[in-house]
């Protein structure tokens, strides 16, 4: 299992490594690893160093480049240095290395060693200027590497307005949260992990403080097993409760996605006034009319039928209304299965109910799948505060109400009150209406086949993200739609099922 670390957790791991060898040896390995990675790229190299240990890694890299006869110089405007940074600066200078204070008009390769993961506060004007110069050179053709994290990005949460726009980020030892959250994903470019012998040492009593990364091998282990001697009843029944006159696409996308998950039966429950619009759209699925013309009107007898299914997915495109709220509350109170509440199911609770509505019996497994704005409405905490530490807020709500949360964003946060997970598959192809409907349907279908709602969320978020990546290769991020992502499910599943999926 691969973990994603906070700055403090990484400092602890650095401390273990330094105790086993020495601080100097650890920086030497880090700087050499950066050198080995960037030396494959030809041309003149400018290394921009700050005063801390990130800059020290840059000085080590510069020394190795110099020893290999490469055209390299260091730009550094600092007057004070950390002890290790000062030591490696002198080693670089002793070999005839150059330090300059002004940026060239053009250079082939830039290595950003200004700030590193330790940056948490406001940027000084001098640093802002250097970041802007690096970005200017990138626009003029320079290839930009950042050591550990782009300078200007918060290492704990990925927030940052002004930051180096790296082509590639060389993360030392383990991923940091800032690499994989918020703007860290955008500014970081291609992410490469450099093994320098520093690894997360997570004991059982500390595991809940660390974030685990969902990887292909994890999905392979979790995918529901299939047996030759089986039938449609062997793979469960999922009910999709979705749609309204204004949002018929939501029901269609969730239904189509679920039918492609491997589930035995998919049924769409939708208002009788629009039900005929769905006939034969997905021939494999059943369409059941429930009370309502252009939107669901709560009727207990309808919801008694829905409660007969293994998994219920509720809320997509239903509209924010008291009837939608009553349906969600009924399911929470009466259903004994796996319930995924999405979209307007959550928005209606936020409008007409309260968080205590999530209290439920032990017979129900409950997953909610909000995006950041929906989560803000539910818990009444400003979205900007949630972004600062999404793991804290999701964990708190999970523990209070014994629910599971999938918080949608550029990266997906998954919480069960214990070990939090992060999924980073996906592209901007998913930044389009309907993606959440596809995800909800996929998770519902996986859960009906036997997965817990939390494992279903992990597998579903990974597979949808990977499908978006595959769709992007075929049609670009501009053109790819949620429907295209469904069409790429097969390839995404096949990758995870392949013999080398865990290599």
Is 245 in the same domain as 120?
A: no
Q: CA angle, 94 as apex, 86 and 90 as ends, to 5°? A: 5
> Residue 456 falls within a domain, yes or no?
yes
Domain boundary among 176, 192, 212: 212
- The more confidently predicted of residues 164 and 201 is 164
Is 187 in the same domain as 220?
A: no
Is 408 in the same domain as 263?
A: yes
Rounded Cα distance between 437 and 430, Å, is: 11
* Residue 201: exposure state from Cβ atoms within 10 A (0-12, 13-18, ≥19): exposed
Query: Residue 206: what pLDDT?
Result: 65
Domain boundary among 160, 193, 212: 212
**CATH number of domain containing 157:** 3.40.50.10260
Is 252 in the same domain as 178?
A: no
Rounded Cα distance between 116 and 101, Å, is: 20
Task: Show the domain range for 197.
Answer: 3-212
DSSP string, 43-101: S-EEEEE-SSHHHHHHHHHHHHHHHTT--EEEE---S---HHHHHHHHHHHHTT--EES
- The more confidently predicted of residues 472 and 498 is 472
Question: How many domains does one find in the chain?
Answer: 2
Tokens of 462: 């990974």
> Residue 34 falls within a domain, yes or no?
yes
Rounded Cα distance between 18 and 498, Å, is: 40
**CATH number of domain containing 315:** 3.40.1190.20
Is 280 in the same domain as 413?
A: yes
- The more confidently predicted of residues 475 and 11 is 475
Is 205 in the same domain as 231?
A: no
Q: Do 278 and 255 meet the contact criterion of CB atoms below 8 Å apart?
A: yes
Is 241 in the same domain as 349?
A: yes
For residue 404, pLDDT beyond 60: yes
pTM, whole model, 2 decimals?
Answer: 0.94
Residue (of 253, 255, 262, 261) closest to 232 by Cα position: 262
> Residue 502 falls within a domain, yes or no?
no
Domain boundary among 164, 188, 212: 212
Is 284 in the same domain as 306?
A: yes
Is 286 in the same domain as 168?
A: no
Mean pLDDT of 38-65: 96
> Residue 503 falls within a domain, yes or no?
no
For residue 46, pLDDT beyond 70: yes
Under DSSP, the state recorded for 371 is B
Mean pLDDT of 169-194: 94
Query: Residue 503: what pLDDT?
Result: 46
**Number of CB atoms found within 10 A of residue 136's CB:** 12
Pairing of strands 421-423, 412-415: antiparallel
Query: Residue 205: what pLDDT?
Result: 63
Is 377 in the same domain as 475?
A: yes
For residue 207, pLDDT beyond 90: no
Is 182 in the same domain as 109?
A: yes
> Residue 460 falls within a domain, yes or no?
yes
For residue 269, pLDDT beyond 70: yes
> Residue 143 falls within a domain, yes or no?
yes
Q: Chain-centre distance of CA 365, in angstroms? A: 23
Is 169 in the same domain as 262?
A: no
Mean pLDDT of 364-391: 97
The helices-and-strands tally (H runs, E runs) of the chain is 19, 19
């Amino acid at each position: 299992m691969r973990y994603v670390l906070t700055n403090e957790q990484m400092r602890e791991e650095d401390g273990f490594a330094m105790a086993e060898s020495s601080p100097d040896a650890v920086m030497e390995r880090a700087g050499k690893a950066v050198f080995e990675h960037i030396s494959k790229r030809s041309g003149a190299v400018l290394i921009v160093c700050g005063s801390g240990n990130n800059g020290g890694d840059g000085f080590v890299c510069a020394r190795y480049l110099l020893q290999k006869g490469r055209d390299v110089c260091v730009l550094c405007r600092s007057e004070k240095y950390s002890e290790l940074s000062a030591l490696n600066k002198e080693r670089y200078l002793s070999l005839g290395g150059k330090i300059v204070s002004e940026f060239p008009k053009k250079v082939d390769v830039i290595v950003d060693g200004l700030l590193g993961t330790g940056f948490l506060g406001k940027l000084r004007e001098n640093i802002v200027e250097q970041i802007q110069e690096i970005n200017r050179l990138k626009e003029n053709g320079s290839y930009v590497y950042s050591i550990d994290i782009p300078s200007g990005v918060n290492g704990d949460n990925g927030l940052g307005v002004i930051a180096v726009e790296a082509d590639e980020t060389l993360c030392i030892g383990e991923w940091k949260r800032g690499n994989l959250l918020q703007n860290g994903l955008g500014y970081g470019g291609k992410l490469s992990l450099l093994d320098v012998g520093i690894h997360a040492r997570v004991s059982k009593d500390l595991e809940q403080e660390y974030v685990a990364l969902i990887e292909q091998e994890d999905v392979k282990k979790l995918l529901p097993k299939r047996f030759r001697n089986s039938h449609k009843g062997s793979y469960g029944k999922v009910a999709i409760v979705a749609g309204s006159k204004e949002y018929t696409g939501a029901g269609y996308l969730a239904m189509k996605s679920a039918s492609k998950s491997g589930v035995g039966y998919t049924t769409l429950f939708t208002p009788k006034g629009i039900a005929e619009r769905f006939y034969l759209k997905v021939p494999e699925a059943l369409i059941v009319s429930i009370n309502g013309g252009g939107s669901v009107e709560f009727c207990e007898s309808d919801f008694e039928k829905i409660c007969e299914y293994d998994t219920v997915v509720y809320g997509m495109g239903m509209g924010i209304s008291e009837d939608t709220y009553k349906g969600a509350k009924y399911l929470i109170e009466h259903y004994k299965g796996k319930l995924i509440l999405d979209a307007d199911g959550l928005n209606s609770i936020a409008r007409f109910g309260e968080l205590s509505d999530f209290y439920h019996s032990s017979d129900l497994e409950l997953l909610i799948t909000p995006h950041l704005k929906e989560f803000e409405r539910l818990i009444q905490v400003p979205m900007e505060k949630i972004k600062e530490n999404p793991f804290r807020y999701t964990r708190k709500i999970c523990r209070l109400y014994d629910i599971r949360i999938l918080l949608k964003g550029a990266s997906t946060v998954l919480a069960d009150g214990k070990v939090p997970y992060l999924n980073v598959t996906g592209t901007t192809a998913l930044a389009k209406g309907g993606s959440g409907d596809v995800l909800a349907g996929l998770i519902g279908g996986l859960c009906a086949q036997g997965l817990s709602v939390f494992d279903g969320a992990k597998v579903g978020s990974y597979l949808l993200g990977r499908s978006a990546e595959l769709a992007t290769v075929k049609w670009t991020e501009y053109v790819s739609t949620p429907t295209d992502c469904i069409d790429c499910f097969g390839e995404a599943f096949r990758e995870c099922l392949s013999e080398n999926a865990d290599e």
